[in-house]
Every structure is written in C-alpha cells, then in structure tokens.
C-alpha cells in the first residue's frame, strides 16, 4: 500500500480548505514551483536555445508521455504529450475515420464531455463526406454499436455522474463489427486503473490538470495503439511530427509512430510543473489508489445520505461502476455548492443540478471526508433546507 | 526613444554570452520567474479551481492577445492567444478556405516556414476537395496571385534570410483578385512594425517565444480581421470557443468574434511567463525598436563584411527589406556556428548553409554587436578559414 500520508505531504493545500475538486484542477505539488524555477533560471535562463537538446526539452513530450502511459496501461513509446485535450480528440478521431473510409457514423453518448462532441462536429463539417455524430444515452451505447460505426468515441468516466463505461467490453463490441474505439480518459487517468493495451483501445486521449495535478492548462496526451501507429496519417501535420523537423523540407513526412501526433513547439514550462506532479506517482499503483478512493467514496456517500435526504446520489451505487468522484443531484445545487465553498469545502457544480466531489487519495484522507460531510450537512440542513427559497444568502450577493 | 539600457537590465543574460538567437528563443525576463512563482503559489496554490475567475485565468488569452495586438497594429478585441503556431495556421487557413468556397489554390512561397506548408498539406488532404498548395519562389509571389487563389499564405519575414514581404502591397493584390491574405508573423511580432489593420490582413498568426520573449513553447496567437470575425466557422470547434462553454450544451455554437478561435483550456502557467515578458514592451514603440535594430544590423553587416570575405550576406542589403535578423551563407555554416557558440556568441544555423543572427534591441547594444563581430571573425579567420577542412576541432568532438 502506498504511504498516502507521505503523498499528501507533497501537496500544498490551503489552510482551512478541504479540496474535493481535484477532478477539475488538482492542487499544487510542493515541488512544482521549485522545479519550475529551476527550468526557468537554470535551463531557459542559462542554456537559452541550447536547452532544447541540453536540457532535454525536445524529448520531454515522449518522456512524460511514457510516465503517464504507465498509469493507463500503455505500451512504452506509444503516448505523446502536447496541445489540449480538444486537439488530441480531433487528431484521434481524424485518424480513426481515415482508417475506416467506408463508414460514416461516429458513435458517442450524451454523457460525453461537450468538447469531444464539438470537435467531432467541426471535423465532420470539414470532411464534408456526410459523416454523422450519433449520440445515444450512455446505457444505449452497447446496442448502438453497429456495422455503420467507424469510431466509437466515449469518455470512460462521465464528468457529471462518475459513471464508468466498461472499456474492454465496449471496445470488443466495436471491434466485433469492425469499428475503432477512442477513449477519453480525462476523468480516468490518475483516478481509476486503466489498461489501454489489455483493453485493446485503438486511441486514447486525456488531460493532465485533473487527477494528475499538472497545473491549470497543463498539456494533454494521446495514445495510439502500436498496430495503428504507422498507419495513421496525421490530420494536424505540424513540423514536430515530421520525420526530420530540422531538415526543413518542403513536404511533410510523418515521424515514426506516435511522434507524428506531435504538432508544434512543446510547452516546456508547463511540462516542468507536470514533471514535478508525476514524481509523486512514482511507486504508486493505480489499483491501490482506486481501492482507497472507493473506501473514501463509500464513507462520503454513507455520511451524506445519513444526514442530507434532500440530496440524491447521481453516481452509480456500485463502487466498481464509479470513477473517483461522487455526485449528488439537487435542484439548487449551484447555490448549495457556493455555500459549501464559502465554508471551505470545494467541490463543483455541473448544470443542471449536479454537485460533484472528486475523491483523490493522494491528498485526501478520512479527516477530510468527515469535514466535507460536516460542512455539506451544515449547508444543506441548517442553512439551505430551512430556507424556503433554498438560496443561501452568501450565494446571491 | 525608449531607454534600451533599462530594457536590457530587465533580462537575465548569462555571463560571457552574447545572445543573437532571440529570433529563435528570447531570453528570460528577470521578472518572469517571480511572476510564475506568484501564479503557482498565490493563484493555483491558494485559489485552486477558483483561480479561473478570481485570478482572471479565463480572460487572460484575450487580455494578452490585446497586448500583442498593440505591437502588430490590430484592433482591440481581435487577437486571441492559445495553442501553437501550427494550430493557429490551420485555423486561419481553414477559415479562409471556407470563406472562398469556389476556389482551390493556396498560394505560398518556398521561403515559408515548413510547418505552415505541412499544416496546409494536412488540411488539403482532410478537405479532399482537390485544393492545391502552390509554392513559388518569394520573388514570384506577386505574379502568381491570380483569380484561382483562395488564400495567400505567407510568412512576412523569411526565417532563413530575414527578407520581408511587402504585406500591404501583396494583401492589396490578393484582395484585387478576390483572394484572402493570411500572414504568419513569427519573425515579425516584436521585430518589425506591423499594421495588420491598416494593411488589411484577413488573418494573422504568430508565436510569442521569439522576439516577444515568452519562454520555450510559449503560446501562439491569432488575429481575425473584424470584417471576418463573425463569418468564420471554426474548424477546431473546442468548448472554450463555444458561446457558453459552461452551459455544457450538446451542440456547438460559436462564441462572438475571435473568441471562437479558442479551442481548449488555456495554458495558465505559460501565460504567466509571457505576461512578465510583455510588461517590458509597455511604452515601447515598434518603430523605435525597428530603427534601432536597423542601426545595430548595419553595424554588424559592415563589421563582418570588413573581416570575413568568406561569408556572403543572405539577407537583403536594403535595411527596409529586412526583418530584425542578419543571415550569412557559408558552406560549413553548421560547424562555424558551433564554434561561435563555443566562444559564447549564440546564433543559429538553418540548413543548408545559413548562419542566422537575431538583432534584438531590447537587450542587445553596440558592445554586444562588436563582441559578436570579434568572435565570428576569430572563428572564421583564425580557426576555420585557416583549416583546410573548414571544420573546427570543437565541432567534431
């Protein structure tokens, strides 16, 4: 079992704050500012342009990609860091469609994070070949996997409810009809055990500012299964995905493997912060983190349900069906969450009525969970529930 | 006249180094590490997720966009920061082609930076409508602007030679035949006076890690002329370019104006460094910077030509035809540049034979230019030129 007291001590958590919003933005690793200072002063400041080679900046997107790869079950050398999640979705989807030229359906679900759907819309319009983005309810996905489908594009853990899709099972279904599977791991990487290789995902994408604690706007990543790595023509064919970027050739030649998913100049400073964040994951196994998250989540659910009858669990009750978050429905959830935040318990609200709490064992323990229960109870029972308008005074100022 | 001694004092320049490579990566502004530390500790560390509003992170891409906008003559509210230059080229080009649906030619030149050409290639393949990327020699561009052309896509300052295109003139030519003009300002922003509004550019893109000194991998920017701002359907339709990102709607609706060119979550940490870098530009006028760059460039050219007959000026001799760099051709330029770097004068080499020196008045003065002349002369005359192989010993170890 990892020493979660030790991992907690490696984060800066503000005085008086219980932070259950790591599924939106992870907290600051204590070492991150130092590491950033060193990269700025000793590398950028002293090495200047030579830092690209001397300090290893150019190789960093692949090095960090592999460190994330370990946490999602990827084969070494098949994860690349860069850009934003939206861009990586676009790359994965464009590649998948090019591998299934005869098919016209992108299958997704209404639980997918909107940017995935928006990027698909934009791609479809661009292609102009009559592709269709078919969005069904999450529970209808399995039956909707037909031979029309080129790509199944799903977010494994629902950002609102925390409901997990069965990735290996749905991927197998997709493959059985000749479709490809793209998995968005935004709420999975660093939260639940993922096995992209064993589960035979074709593509996977994710971000690093949530459970991985890379910092606000930290770069995204993309995984391309080895069997597709040489077969995909990148849609966003930037110079750093070229086989020989510094030859400055006039014509694009894709780099080997996942390196072709690089686009422009890598975000060196953002990577410095992420590197410090990933250090905390060294020696930590995802299965153990997830087991602990389940324990903490059960404690939270039981505590809240015992005292707050007006809150309805929006997450699956079965722990194995959940990611590393717990969500409740409440009609005035926005105001309720504002009141919780005013009392130092930070979760977040997702329209129309979801109060969302991220459960992150690297820096949350039983004491934090109990404090959160206490504050949510105080807000719901003493402040909001007694008020006919359900509006907390502090929320309307 | 700005006080260039004062601006120089605001940069960290390593002991013993004369840095003529700011056109590849600008040096560290002294205030950048502090500013980064504050954003990490006081904003991310203390505000956590609330920093998106409280610390203004969400608005920052537009705020910084406008500060860059001043340096390129853009109307306020029409420049947006984010992503990499390659991505911004793709967005601009896709938008331009969608505005000229009946035309099939993208006109560029062989002096364009390769990633612009590569991104165009990828876009053309994606569109599958038979578009053609037509690349002519820089001096043939004007005659090649015909009614077939949908978009003229050029880099204003040639990355190899520093040769400037006449942006207003070529834009006018393009408009006269009904084409649109996209300008890549990678080597222009912070280097030469640019007037995208007055020059009637339709789109402009650029990066912030060269003359603007934002740091390695700092974000890019895009300008969309007001007349097109509401007319362009974004190809990369990410959630932060949505009219109401936090409504989490299932369908994309473009945000007003240039905000639709936002894609994913903005790079908060990278923006912190850039903000400190842009502070140095406050009160500095581009015309004055450029005038001083011309003075320093003339001094450099005269000094080198007086002592190094084996170097051939690759940049235009007329100062007004040059950006803020001076390039020389030399068959063994790679080895020669390595030797210069070993002696503390950092420029760079661009294949096949270009030795490139960026002239950046914010932190270079006559003493630096004279030292660079001295070192280049020493390398060329005493070390390389006397050696039959033209190879400096230190370059082959």
pLDDT tens for chain A, 397 residues: list them.
789 999 999 999 999 999 999 999 999 999 999 999 999 999 999 999 999 999 999 999 999 999 999 999 999 999 999 999 999 999 999 999 999 999 999 999 999 999 999 999 999 999 999 999 999 999 999 999 999 999 999 999 999 999 999 999 999 999 999 999 999 999 999 999 999 999 999 999 999 999 999 999 999 999 999 999 999 889 999 999 999 999 999 999 999 999 999 999 999 999 999 999 999 999 999 999 999 999 999 999 999 999 999 999 999 999 999 999 999 999 999 999 999 999 999 999 998 999 999 999 999 999 999 999 999 999 999 876 555 555 444 443 3
Q: How many residues are given for chain B?
A: 397
* pLDDT for position A394: 41
pLDDT band at B2 (very low <50, low <70, confident <90, very high): confident
Query: What does each C-alpha distance from B156 to A338, B169, B192 come to in angstroms?
Result: 50, 12, 10
A394 is an annotated ligand-binding site residue: no
| End-to-end alpha carbon distance in chain B | 46
Contacts of A258 (CB under 8 A, 6+ apart): A62, A65, A77, A78, A79, A80, A222, A223, A224, A229
Taking an 8 Å cut-off on Cβ atoms, the answer to whether B269 and A238 are in contact is: no
Collapsed DSSP state (helix, strand, coil) of residue B329: strand
Collapsed DSSP state (helix, strand, coil) of residue A28: strand
Collapsed DSSP state (helix, strand, coil) of residue B162: coil
pLDDT over 90 for what percent of chain B? Answer: 94
DSSP H helical ranges for B128-279? 141-144, 167-176, 226-229, 268-279
Taking an 8 Å cut-off on Cβ atoms, the answer to whether B129 and A129 are in contact is: no
Q: What is the dihedral of CA B245, B250, B256, B259, to 10 degrees?
A: 50
- What topology is assigned to B285-395 in CATH? 3.90.1150
> Which of A33, A110, A119 lies closest to B37 in CB terms?
A33
Asked if CATH classification 3.30.9.10 holds for the domain at A32-279, the reply, yes or no, is no
Question: What is the secondary structure of A201-225 as a DSSP string?
Answer: -SEEEEESSSTT---TT--EEEEE-
B221 is an annotated ligand-binding site residue: no
B239 is an annotated ligand-binding site residue: yes
Q: Residues B261, B238: contact at Cβ < 8 Å?
A: no
How distant is the Cα of B344 from the closest Cα of chain A, in angstroms? 11
Exposed/middle/buried for A51, CB within 10 Å: 0-12, 13-18, 19+?
A: buried
pLDDT over 90 for what percent of chain A? Answer: 94
Give the span between the Cα atoms of B25 and B173, in whole angstroms: 33
Exposed/middle/buried for A360, CB within 10 Å: 0-12, 13-18, 19+?
A: buried
Angle between helices A286-307 and A366-377 (to 10 degrees): 30
A127 is an annotated ligand-binding site residue: no
* pLDDT for position B389: 53
Q: Residues A358, A192: contact at Cβ < 8 Å?
A: no
How distant is the Cα of A124 from the closest Cα of chain B, in angstroms? 9
Collapsed DSSP state (helix, strand, coil) of residue A191: coil
How distant is the Cα of A171 from the closest Cα of chain B, in angstroms? 24
* pLDDT for position B232: 87
Strands A220-224 and A345-346, by their bridges, are unpaired
Taking an 8 Å cut-off on Cβ atoms, the answer to whether A267 and B270 are in contact is: yes
* pLDDT for position A397: 35
Residue B104's CB: how many other CB atoms inside 10 A?
17
Q: Which of A115, A255, A364 to mutate to test the interface with B (most CBs of B within 10 A)?
A: A115
pLDDT in tens, B35-47: 999 999 999 999 9
Give the span between the Cα atoms of A164 and A187, in whole angstroms: 10
**Beta strands across the sheet bearing B180-184:** B79-81, B220-224, B203-207, B180-184, B149-155, B105-109, B132-136
What integer is the mean pLDDT of B274-303? 97
Radius of gyration of chain B (CA): 22
Q: List B203's β-bridge partners, or say none.
A: B182, B224
How distant is the Cα of B41 from the closest Cα of chain A, in angstroms? 7
Residue A307's CB: how many other CB atoms inside 10 A?
15
Give the span between the Cα atoms of A18 and A204, in whole angstroms: 31
Secondary structure (H, E, C), B340-379: HHHCCEECEEECCCEEEEECCCCCCCHHHHHHHHHHHHHH
> Which of B17, B118, B236 lies closest to A90 in CB terms?
B236
Q: Which residues of A are catalytic?
A: 113, 184, 209-210, 356
Radius of gyration of chain A (CA): 22
Q: How many residues are given for chain A?
A: 397
pLDDT in tens, B368-384: 999 999 999 999 998 76
How distant is the Cα of A298 from the closest Cα of chain B, in angstroms? 24
Q: Residues A373, A307: contact at Cβ < 8 Å?
A: yes
Q: In this structure, what are the phi and psi dihedrals at residue A313, rounded to the nearest 5 degrees? A: -60, 125
Q: Which of B11, B53, B82, B115 to mutate to test the interface with A (most CBs of A within 10 A)?
A: B115
| Residue-range domain boundaries for chain A | 32-279, 285-395
Q: What is the dihedral of CA B245, B249, B252, B256, to 10 degrees?
A: -40
* pLDDT for position B333: 94
Q: Which of A16, A37, A118 to mutate to test the interface with B (most CBs of B within 10 A)?
A: A118
Strands A354-358 and B11-12, by their bridges, are unpaired
Give the span between the Cα atoms of A175 and A397, in whole angstroms: 53
Contacts of A58 (CB under 8 A, 6+ apart): A52, A266
* pLDDT for position A145: 98
Taking an 8 Å cut-off on Cβ atoms, the answer to whether B250 and A110 are in contact is: yes
Q: Residues A104, A130: contact at Cβ < 8 Å?
A: yes
* pLDDT for position A382: 83
Task: Name the closest residue on chain A to residue B214, using Cα atoms.
Answer: A269
The yes-or-no verdict on residue B11 having pLDDT over 80 is yes
A246 is an annotated ligand-binding site residue: no
| End-to-end alpha carbon distance in chain A | 46
**What is the Cα A79 distance to its own chain's centre?**
14
* pLDDT for position A392: 46
Q: In this structure, what are the phi and psi dihedrals at residue A9, rounded to the nearest 5 degrees? A: -70, -10
Which one, of A379, A369, A362, A236, lies nearest residue A307 by Cα? A379
Cβ-count burial B267-301 (b if 16+ within 10 Å, e if not): bbbbbbbbbbbbebbeebebeebbebbbebbbbbb
Is ipTM strictly over 0.90? yes
> Which of B12, B86, B265 lies closest to A45 in CB terms?
B12
Strands B28-29 and B11-12, by their bridges, are antiparallel
B389 is an annotated ligand-binding site residue: no
Collapsed DSSP state (helix, strand, coil) of residue A358: strand
**Considering chain B, what is the average pLDDT of its residues?**
95
pLDDT in tens, B194-214: 999 999 999 999 999 999 999
DSSP state of B282: T
Task: Name the closest residue on chain A to residue B112, using Cα atoms.
Answer: A250
Q: Residues A165, A154: contact at Cβ < 8 Å?
A: yes
Question: What is the secondary structure of B34-90 as a DSSP string?
Answer: HHHHHIIIIIIIHHGGGHHHHT-TTTHHHHHHHHHHHHHTPPTT-EEE-S-HHHHHH
Taking an 8 Å cut-off on Cβ atoms, the answer to whether A27 and B45 are in contact is: yes
From chain B, pick out residues whose CB is under 8 angstroms from the CB of A238: 84, 86-87, 115, 118-119
Taking an 8 Å cut-off on Cβ atoms, the answer to whether A234 and B122 are in contact is: yes
Taking an 8 Å cut-off on Cβ atoms, the answer to whether B87 and A24 are in contact is: no
Give the span between the Cα atoms of B212 and B71, in whole angstroms: 10
């Amino acid at each position: 079992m990892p020493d979660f007291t030790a991992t907690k001590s490696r984060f800066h958590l503000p005085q008086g704050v219980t932070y259950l919003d790591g599924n939106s933005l992870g907290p600051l690793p204590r070492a991150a500012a130092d590491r950033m200072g060193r990269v700025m002063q000793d590398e950028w400041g002293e090495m200047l342009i030579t830092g690209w080679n001397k300090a290893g900046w150019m190789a960093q997107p692949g090095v960090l990609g592999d460190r994330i790869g370990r946490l999602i079950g990827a084969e070494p050398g098949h994860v690349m860091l860069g850009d934003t999640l939206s861009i990586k979705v676009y790359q994965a989807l464009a590649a998948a469609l090019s591998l299934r030229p005869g098919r016209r359906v992108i299958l997704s679900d209404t639980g997918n994070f909107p940017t995935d759907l928006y990027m698909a819309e934009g791609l479809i319009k661009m292609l102009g070949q009559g592709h269709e983005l078919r969005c069904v309810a999450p529970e209808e996905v399995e039956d909707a996997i037909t031979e029309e489908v080129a790509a199944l594009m799903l977010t494994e853990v629902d950002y609102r409810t925390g409901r997990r899709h069965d990735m290996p099972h749905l991927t197998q279904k997709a493959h059985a009809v000749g479709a490809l599977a793209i998995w968005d791991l935004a709420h999975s990487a660093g939260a639940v055990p993922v096995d992209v290789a064993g589960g035979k995902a074709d593509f996977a994408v994710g971000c690093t500012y949530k459970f991985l604690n890379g910092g606000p706007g930290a770069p995204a990543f993309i995984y391309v299964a080895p069997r597709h790595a040489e077969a995909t023509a990148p849609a966003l064919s930037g110079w750093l995905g070229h086989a020989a970027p510094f030859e400055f050739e006039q014509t694009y030649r894709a780099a080997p493997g996942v390196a072709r998913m690089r686009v422009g100049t890598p975000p060196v400073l953002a990577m410095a912060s992420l590197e410090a964040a990933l250090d905390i994951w060294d020696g930590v196994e995802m299965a153990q983190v997830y087991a602990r998250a389940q324990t903490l989540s059960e404690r939270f659910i039981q505590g809240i349900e015992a005292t707050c009858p007006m809150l309805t669990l929006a997450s699956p009750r079965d722990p194995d069906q959940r990611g590393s978050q717990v969500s409740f429905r409440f009609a005035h959830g926005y105001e309720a969450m504002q009141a919780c935040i005013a009392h130092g318990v930070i979760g977040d609200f997702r329209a129309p009525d979801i109060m969302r709490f991220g459960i992150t064992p690297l820096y949350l323990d039983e004491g934090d969970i109990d404090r959160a229960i206490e504050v949510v109870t105080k807000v719901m029972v003493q402040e909001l529930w007694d008020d006919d308008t359900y509006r907390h005074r502090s929320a309307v100022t």
